[in-house]
Structure 1
Amino acid sequence: MNRKQNIIKTAINEHVIDHNLTAIGVMDLDGLKKTVNDAYAAFPANFFHTFAVKANALVKVLEPLREYGMGAEVASPGELLIAVTAGFTAENIIFDSPAKTLQDLRTCIKKGIALNIDNLQELERIDALMLEFPESTSIIGFRVNPQIGGGKIGSTSTATATSKFGYALVDGDNRNELISIYKKRPWLKSIHTHSGSQGCELSLMAKGIKIITELAEEINSLVGLQQITRLDIGGGLPVNFSSEIIKPSFKDYADILKAEVPLLFTDKYQVKTEFGRAIVAKNGVIITRVEYTKNSGGRHIATTHAGAQIITRTAFLPKSWPIRVTGYTTKGEERTAQTSEVVTTDVAGPCCFAGDLICSNQPLPKLESNDYVMVHDTGGYYFTNHFDYNSLPRVAIYTVAGHDDDLTIECIRQGESLEDVLNKM
């Protein structure tokens, strides 16, 4: 019996999932620890790996990641709050939101949280704050868009010519302007790029990292000392969703980086990564019960309780985010071609729109009512995402009633600033 089958049998036998609780997410913490260890084993000691909290914003997952030696990369005030709740300290957090408010920036600089500047208007705010907090221990850098192009999934490509993220390095005289910015500000000690994600080739990612490494070397040379001491090479490692095989591996990535940017593998710079999906995806699964089955137009349809509400990316972009499913009997035994008839199947979710499908037109061993379906590789960006107001401290919720000329607006949930929330902890 493999580990996943053991997990589903245990969930069924201990009534973790049943007729009442019909969809669960499961994280394998032993697998998570091995993945983190694999990441550290692939790189030398000057690399420090942070976890992109957006990939799995669950405190009970972040806590062991912290214990396993990872830092936290956050991209919103809500993620920062969750990271602090999970026990990450200021020196091990980096804040990357492209929409930081003045209060966000003040909180980070006051508390010594590292951050990456997205644009020149944000730089103006930080200039003023550095006068207010001249002893700040925040490691501050610019997010640079090397404009090297996108990967196979346009919506997750962050280094295109028109990307919304970072400082466009190739436009006009921007490169020289950025060098001048660093020369005038000795507190700019880091430089950051996020050149890859799912659908991006490792060679493309390495190209972007090589560009900012060369830029850091040029800035340090012109300044006459090593002002930039940290290279933040954000960007996730792509994940293989088509099988259990882990490819590319962290070692594959390290080998390409060592060949293309060997300076990273010396002690000259601290190098920070921001892995997310590659850390958690294969260590999590969704298990859901099949409520009903039927045939329609020659297609076998299995309706489950896991769909667009927790498998959002696949439901809305199935070609970009296809995922594997495996059927199990009520006793947790895997349905295979040897034990069940293989039929063309749609595995559907519970939401009331036609595209709410986990997979479509797939040959699968025939599922029956009350069976279970395991949805593989869903430890990141699936059941772990919380796109709701509880993760956003600035959001307030109001009700409104009355005629247009006499409206009554009542607050039912008060928004809070990030600093207010952190000061309560």
Structure 2
Amino acid sequence: MAHVQERRRGALSSAIAAGVLGNSDESATAMFMDLDVLHGTIAALKRAPFPPGTLHTFAIKANPVGRVLELMRDAGLGAEVASLGELRQALACGFHPDRVVFDSPVKTREELRFALRAGVRLNLDNLQEVQRVAELLSAEPELLDSTTGGYSTAGPRLIGLRVNPQVGEGRIAALSTAGKVSKFGTPLLEHRRELLAAFADHPWINALHLHVGSQGVPLELTVEGVARVADLAAEVETAAAAASAAYGNGGGRRRIMALDIGGGLPVQYGDDDLGWLLGSANATAAAGSALAPPTETVVSIFERYASMLRQRLPYLFAGCDGSSGNEIAAAAATTNDTNLNRTPPTTNALTMAPQLVTEFGRCLVAKSVFAAGRVEYSKLCGGRRVVVSGLGGDLLLRAVYLPDTWPVRVELYDNAGHTKVCGTAASATDKGEVADDVAEADKSESSEPGSLLPTDVVGPLCFQGDRLAEAMLLPPAHPGDWIVVPDVGAYCLSMYSRYNSRCSPSVWGFWRRRQYATRQEETAAEVMPAVAAAVAPAAVTATPTEEGYSLPAVWAASSSSSRGEGGGGVEEASGQDYDFVLLRRGETVEEVLAFWNLV
């Protein structure tokens, strides 16, 4: 498999040749999801040594496209949702209610009732919400019925309580949810007694939930947050065991059935390296990295995270290697390693560790998608070139409004998809270095047709700050060329701005044709080494056993789907070395106008 950037170039030129991109104004901007990379990322997650039975959910907020969700569902993932709209999208896309987790800091009574009736897992944000649910259940006790909504579950309805472990913030405060002050969860350090009382007063609360943050949050901080809430879970178990003994009933099932540890794995946006994400058996671990494993092998971030959790909280992994919970507890009690010396519950319930639940979003999809926008105009202005395309602050909202926090890489291709230059947006230092060049740049395009000049790459929105790159050294760009931005699979389309009433773009999935000549029969053993080969030139020896990728059969339906009109059927295309499938069509102007004219 070619290097990631070469795959991107190949997919772009194939899309142009196939007429998927650039043959009309409607296809002047589009997004492309590399299904090989997506499948490889999910496989890396599944290989990570989390406890058996762990429920991995996909955070829909990262990328709510229906067909992307169906791919996640078919890969065995659940869904994490944070609004009624996301909840209904998950159910419409076929996720079993027991594999849907509903988190939100502002669930109304009707939304809570809907969730309870639907049979999904529910995480309550705060103690007032606990009281609200208690009132609902008092009035409608049937809402706890495990067969509510037409689905039956093997155990009791899972209702958790979100806790803010208050471990501190990461590099990006806006994405850090476990600081001293947070809009999410009940603060652990201030309300530990009230949290324990909530479990004592409401037997239907049987899970705990936390989320430390995402981009900019180190794994060590996330693991510390999990450890603090795991300690609370141990206290709940001990209190429940003591209460059972006092009443002479001998105890029963464990009190905490699930521990939802949230998501929050950071993404490496600065380059095309996928070693940190997929793992590579032949790459060398980064020297001096605090997270690097003790061998020469680079492991995936999922494996690193699971290993760190197991080192810090071994009793949550009881039975993973044949050891009992009590054996692990004894080891934790006698070891001199403070990372293992947590206080486990003192009852035999330890031998049945709670189910772990994860809520990964960004790290599953960010690296698999690039966006392409056709260059419409190029001009010289004040000693710089200014290149205008359809990619800007509507789709790449964070990159435009917070460029220092969310810089993007910008690449330039010609009208056939051949590379002109690939690089990164100029930093403040870069801008100083090119200052001398600007004085020489104020001349006609024709005088130096191939010269590198400071270039602003700007978008279509009606404000000056709609800029993806400033003073980036680029060769001339012409109408019909292509601006490409990698790593836009997460929190781009889902944050699309309605400013200027522009149409959101289509989303295409693609794969390299030779790898999927027999899609139904091919195994991941053939696919994954090729995906991992994008990490480094060295051969990869890993041989995963997961089933190969295939398009969901439901896509072949010729009529509208349950998600709405126009959701059925499969539109596919082929060009050069890559095949394409439409995951989401772009909006029409009429649909945008309908948004503003709802009366």
Q: Normalised by the shorter chain, which TM-score bucket?
A: 0.7 to 0.9
Name the structure 2 match of 1:136.
145
- Once the two structures are TM-superposed, the CA of residue 306 in structure 1 deviates from its matched residue by 1.0
- Greater shift after overlay, 338-347 or 303-312? 338-347
Aligned Cα RMSD in Å? Answer: 2.2
Question: Which residue of the other structure, out of 39, 49, 55, is the alignment partner of 1:43?
Answer: 49
CA distance in 2, matches of 1:59, 1:386: 16
1:199-218 correspondence runs (5 A): 199-218=216-235
Name the structure 2 match of 1:233.
261
Change (3 A) 1:273 1:14: same
Contact 1:28–1:284 (CA under 8 A) maintained in structure 2: yes
Name the structure 2 match of 1:29.
35
Contact 1:337–1:365 (CA under 8 A) maintained in structure 2: no
- Greater shift after overlay, 337-346 or 187-196? 337-346
Name the structure 1 match of 2:272.
244
Matched residue count: 391
Change (3 A) 1:358 1:263: farther
Change (3 A) 1:386 1:337: closer
- CA displacement 1:103-127 (0-9 Å, x = unmatched): 1111111221111111122111111
Name the structure 1 match of 2:553.
none
Contact 1:335–1:365 (CA under 8 A) maintained in structure 2: yes
Q: Is 2:222 the partner of 1:112?
A: no
CA distance in 2, matches of 1:387, 1:59: 19
1:251-290 correspondence runs (5 A): 251-267=303-319, 268-290=353-375
Contact 2:394–2:497 (CA under 8 A) maintained in structure 1: no
Change (3 A) 1:334 1:107: same
1:388-407 correspondence runs (5 A): none
SS of match in other structure, 2:206: strand
Q: Is 2:180 the partner of 1:154?
A: no
- Once the two structures are TM-superposed, the CA of residue 92 in structure 1 deviates from its matched residue by 0.8
Name the structure 1 match of 2:153.
none
Q: Which amino acid is the alignment partner of residue 292 of structure 1?
A: Y
1:410-421 correspondence runs (5 A): 413=598
Ranges in structure 2 where 5+ consecutive residues have no aligned partner? 147-156, 242-250, 278-300, 320-352, 424-448, 499-562, 564-595
Change (3 A) 1:128 1:153: same
CA distance in 2, matches of 1:357, 1:315: 6
SS of match in other structure, 1:72: strand
Contact 1:345–1:364 (CA under 8 A) maintained in structure 2: yes
Q: Is 2:57 the partner of 1:5?
A: no
- Once the two structures are TM-superposed, the CA of residue 266 in structure 1 deviates from its matched residue by 2.6
- Once the two structures are TM-superposed, the CA of residue 366 in structure 1 deviates from its matched residue by 4.2
Change (3 A) 1:301 1:260: farther
- Greater shift after overlay, 367-376 or 317-326? 367-376
1:90-129 correspondence runs (5 A): 90-129=97-136
Contact 1:109–1:129 (CA under 8 A) maintained in structure 2: no
Q: Which amino acid is the alignment partner of residue 415 of structure 2?
A: T
- Once the two structures are TM-superposed, the CA of residue 143 in structure 1 deviates from its matched residue by 0.7
Contact 1:293–1:369 (CA under 8 A) maintained in structure 2: yes
CA distance in 2, matches of 1:370, 1:303: 11
Q: Which amino acid is the alignment partner of residue 382 of structure 1?
A: C
Q: Is 2:199 the partner of 1:169?
A: no
Q: Is 2:293 the partner of 1:293?
A: no
Q: Which amino acid is the alignment partner of residue 153 of structure 1?
A: I
Name the structure 2 match of 1:327.
412
Q: Which amino acid is the alignment partner of residue 62 of structure 1?
A: L
Change (3 A) 1:340 1:256: farther
Name the structure 2 match of 1:396.
none
Q: Which amino acid is the alignment partner of residue 369 of structure 2?
A: G
1:305-344 correspondence runs (5 A): 305-336=390-421, 341-344=451-454
CA distance in 2, matches of 1:239, 1:264: 26
CA distance in 2, matches of 1:260, 1:298: 56
Change (3 A) 1:289 1:412: closer
- Once the two structures are TM-superposed, the CA of residue 264 in structure 1 deviates from its matched residue by 3.0
Name the structure 1 match of 2:82.
75
CA distance in 1, matches of 2:482, 2:374: 4
Name the structure 1 match of 2:520.
none
SS of match in other structure, 1:80: helix
CA distance in 2, matches of 1:259, 1:92: 27
CA distance in 2, matches of 1:266, 1:363: 55
Name the structure 1 match of 2:546.
none
- Once the two structures are TM-superposed, the CA of residue 91 in structure 1 deviates from its matched residue by 0.7
Relative to total residues, which structure has the larger strand share, 1 or 2?
Answer: 1
- Once the two structures are TM-superposed, the CA of residue 387 in structure 1 deviates from its matched residue by 6.4
